[in-house]
Amino acid sequence: MTSSKSFVKFDKVDKSYDGKVLVVKDLNLDINEGEFITMLGPSGSGKTTCLMMLAGFETPTNGEIYLNSKPISRIPPHKRGIGMVFQNYALFPHLTVYENLAFPLKVRKLSKDDIDKKVDKALSMVSLSGFEKRMPNQLSGGQQQRVAVARSLVFDPQLVLMDEPLGALDKNLRESMQYEIKHIHESIGVTVVYVTHDQSEALTMSSRIAVFNDGKVQQLSTPDKLYEEPVNSFVAEFIGENNTFAGEVTDISGGKCKVKLDTGGEIISNPISVNSKGEKTKVSLRPERAIIDPEEKMDNKHKGKIEEIIYHGDHARVRLNLLGNKEFILKVPNSSARMDIKRGNEIKVGWNSHDARALDPKSI
């Protein structure tokens, strides 16, 4: 049974290449029409395999994938009506920009007039009007990737898949292309499934993010919820910078829990995925949630020794040895630089228990 609301649906999908090891395990995932969803995870987590199954280059071992309520596992890639953008651009080197974009339209037997109109529209969408006669080797990396994006959109697909499309670009170009793809998506409303291992790219571009690890989706949420409310320690550590304390729950009451740390000391936390005394946990705390010279009402106050200070322009990244964690990170705004922040100094740091999330130490 497919949901009428789901535009793309993975229904109990498994994938094994050798008949023994599952690289994707019991995947159930619903993607809405017009959504920009990112599959994010480390190498080998199963995200690219999912994209390849959706594209038709791989077949599920078990389960089914639906597109617009129709099962597609037996439909060949070229009949799925899906646009694709790869990391290596995959442009035809012997064809001009115009011919590269016209190719998928000629395959669909459109008239010369329609092809001209659609190529013009696609090139203006990626700010490359006037580049029709250039060859791929006459373009910069960023321009080639723009042409690849334009080619994936030129035939008005119902779905566009992007596999690490910005991986080969330098940092500045990569960031400007992130915004460009995001704005194209917003202006035409096509459904995009995007694969990356770059967390900041995923946070910048996506409506929702599916975090993969070990062949399973660990969490599927909006970028802000994923960052602020990770459901387990894998997600907390994979998304953004994170301070982690391992320990055991010694008390749960009044919506708070006490955690005795493996390194000694105790912190008060928010019991997110722990329920009883004696449970092992990893406590997650974002660096920006901890402050120097804490207010009286904060229920966690501890002294730490400054090990390292790295200047980042608008803020300083301060590494402390605190409660036995030698990698505890603070982000101190530049306006606070007047404070006694010098290597070797001892400072008092505090945070609210609500911001320290006691999580399951394992992945799902």
Tens of pLDDT, residue by residue over 190-216, are 999 999 999 999 999 999 999 999 999
Question: Three-state DSSP class for 331?
Answer: strand
Q: Can you tell me the distance from the alpha carbon of 303 to that of 306, in angstroms, rounded to the nearest whole number?
A: 10
**Are 157 and 28 part of one and the same domain?**
yes
What integer pLDDT is reported at residue 313 of this predicted model? 84
pLDDT-above-90 percentage for the chain: 76
Number of domains, the chain: 2
pTM higher than 0.75 = yes
Domain boundary (206, 233, 260) is at: 233
With respect to residue 364, please indicate whether it lies within any of the assigned structural domains: no
Whether residue 99 is found in the same domain as residue 157: yes
276 in a structural domain: yes
What per-residue confidence (pLDDT) applies to 83?
Answer: 92
53 contacts 163 by C-beta, under 8 angstroms? no
Q: Is residue 257 part of a domain?
A: yes
- pLDDT for 121 equals 93
* Residue ranges of the chain whose pLDDT lies below 50: 1-4
The pLDDT value recorded for residue 338 is 53
Q: According to the model, what pLDDT value does residue 90 have?
A: 81
CATH no. for residue 210?
Answer: 3.40.50.300
Whether the Cβ atoms of residue 187 and residue 153 lie closer than 8 Å to each other: no
Domain final residue pick, 208, 233, 258: 233
Identify whether residues 173 and 244 lie together within a single domain. Answer: no
Q: In this structure, are 139 and 204 located in the same domain?
A: yes
**Residue range(s) defining the domain that contains residue 287:** 234-359
pLDDT of amino acid 339: 59
For residue range 77-125, list pLDDT tens digits in order: 988 989 999 877 688 999 999 999 999 899 888 999 999 999 999 999 8
Residues 229 and 315 reside in one and the same domain: no
CA 90 to chain centre: 23
> Looking at the domain assignment, is residue 186 inside a domain?
yes
Supply the pLDDT for residue 312: 84
Q: Which of 204, 233, 262 is the last residue of a domain?
A: 233
Residues 6+ apart with CB under 8 A from 236: 230, 242, 244, 282, 284, 357, 359
